[in-house]
Amino acid sequence: MDKHEPPIRVDDVRFELPLFERLLEADQAIQQRFPRQYGAGLESLGLILRRPADWENGGYYCTPVNSLCFGRTGVDGEHFSFLVQDGVINNQSPIIVTAPCAYDSEMPNAVVAETFEDFIGLGLRYGFGAVVEFVWNLPKALQAYGTEAAETEYSYSECDLSLPSEQQEVLLFLRERLQIVPIGYTTEQFEQLQRCYMSCLRMSAEWDDYSR
């Protein structure tokens, strides 16, 4: 793929990801079960989902053109995208987080999961909004996510990633419904993710002009 070709479209890919449908169903269940105090459904955990028919490129100067956005945090344009490879999106598609307003970061993108299931497992630690810390404050993220999940009990106040009790209830409900174990990364594991996949990101001419 030429790095300056137009952003990929949802019509250009084949979608094979039942786990995404399960997450959409969980989103609806959360809306029905929990009061709307921090947003409806998964929005309370920092993830505003889009249905597959509505996926599109994130649209920012720093969004890789070979990615499709499936969700946003609702803050400062932050969004989560599939890295599209070989014209298919499935559980083996890596997940990218993009923070367009992270101007002080060397790169406003980070590869945060090798699979969609890993992405959910990462979100089950402190909520999905906290995942963006891998762009905003990498040392803080590595300190928090490098701690065993069983020890943190979904809270790590030293890194300001703790959640109010109401959101922790939603997080625990989601974990039990999906039966996915929360995960984290050591520094070495995170760096390996970047080595494996960052070179696959294709950036726009707008990004080239910005990064000069």
Q: Which letter, b or e, does each residue of 68-86 get, where b requires 16 or more Cβ atoms within 10 Å of its Cβ?
A: bbbbbbeeebbbbbbbbbe
Yes or no: say if 121 and 180 are a contact pair by the CB < 8 Å rule. Answer: yes
> How does pLDDT run across 128-159, given as a tens digit for each residue?
999 999 999 999 899 889 865 444 444 444 45
Tell which wins on pLDDT, 40 or 158.
40
Share of the chain above pLDDT 90, in %: 74
pLDDT at 37 over 80: no
User: Crossing angle for the helix pair 165-178 and 116-126, nearest 10 degrees?
Assistant: 150
> How does pLDDT run across 91-124, given as a tens digit for each residue?
999 999 999 998 877 789 999 999 999 999 999 9
* Start-to-end Cα distance in the chain: 22
pLDDT of residue 105: 79
Residue whose structure tokens are 């709307």: 36
Residue 160's pLDDT band (cuts 50, 70, 90): low
Beta bridge partners, 14, equal: 88
